[in-house]
């Protein structure tokens, strides 16, 4: 089965099982999602959502972050880990939005990746969820599952993104990323994936290879 057919079969399954998938980071506007996504690096979304409950009240606008005291902000976001680097990024992000974008989050990849703390993954989260743009978010789940399904042979996130853009319908890319993340947490886990009970093991070359080598799935 070629990559496009595999991708379409996978989408059929994802739609049947994760039809209501959505961004798990709570937010009310692009600025809040950008803040939360920066905080989510090496941290669970659940913990980020706890931290941002108070954070969004204390720093409701980019100007508030731009003017934030570094040590105080570090204390506010400490539970998310790597808090000093994240605080530096958040303050830099606030200042960048004020100085170059009128306090608004820009809607292009080129502008977003120039913001402190923002790479392609974070930029795609914003583009897909806030601006309705085609955007494939390559996190650890997407990277692992795309490789196992044979949708990519690359390990570099940007190259994986380019491979997936070619085979995932653009209007589905943002939702697809959310669905794959749920599938990765639910069935296709990093360790001990539930291959035998997986509904799509019939189209999975990784599973076929396991069977061929007589490995326990």
Reference 69, options 80, 59, 81; nearest CA is 59
* Terminal CA-CA length for the chain: 21
Does the structure show a pLDDT above 90 at 18?
A: yes
Residues 37-70 pLDDT 10s: 999 999 999 999 999 999 999 999 999 999 999 9
CA–CA dist 26, 31 (Å, integer): 12
Structural domains in the chain? 3-21+136-212 (1.10.1670.10), 30-130 (1.10.340.30)
Amino acid 214: pLDDT: 63
- pLDDT tens digits, residue range 179-196? 999 999 999 999 999 999
Q: Which residues are catalytic?
A: 121, 139
Contacts of 37 (CB under 8 A, 6+ apart): 25, 122, 125, 126
Query: How does residue 1 score in pLDDT terms, banded at 50, 70 and 90?
Result: low
């Amino acid at each position: 089965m070629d990559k496009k057919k595999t991708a379409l079969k996978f989408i059929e399954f994802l739609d049947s099982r994760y039809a209501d998938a959505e961004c798990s980071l709570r937010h009310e506007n692009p600025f809040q999602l950008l803040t939360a996504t920066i905080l989510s690096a090496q941290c669970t979304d659940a913990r980020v959502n706890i931290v941002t409950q108070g954070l969004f009240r204390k720093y409701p606008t980019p100007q508030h972050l731009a003017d934030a005291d570094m040590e105080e902000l570090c204390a506010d976001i400490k539970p998310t880990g790597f808090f000093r680097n994240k605080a530096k990024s958040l303050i830099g992000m606030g200042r960048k939005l004020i100085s170059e974008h009128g306090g608004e989050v820009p809607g292009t990849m080129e502008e977003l990746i120039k913001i402190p703390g923002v790479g392609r993954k974070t930029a795609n989260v914003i583009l897909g969820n806030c601006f309705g743009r085609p955007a494939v978010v390559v996190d650890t789940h997407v990277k692992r599952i795309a490789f196992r399904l044979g949708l990519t042979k690359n390990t570099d996130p940007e190259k994986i993104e380019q491979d997936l853009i070619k085979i995932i319908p653009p209007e589905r890319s943002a939702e697809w990323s959310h669905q794959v993340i749920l599938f990765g947490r639910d069935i296709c886990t990093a360790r001990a994936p539930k291959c035998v009970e997986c509904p799509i093991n019939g189209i999975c070359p990784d599973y076929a290879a396991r069977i061929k080598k007589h490995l326990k799935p």
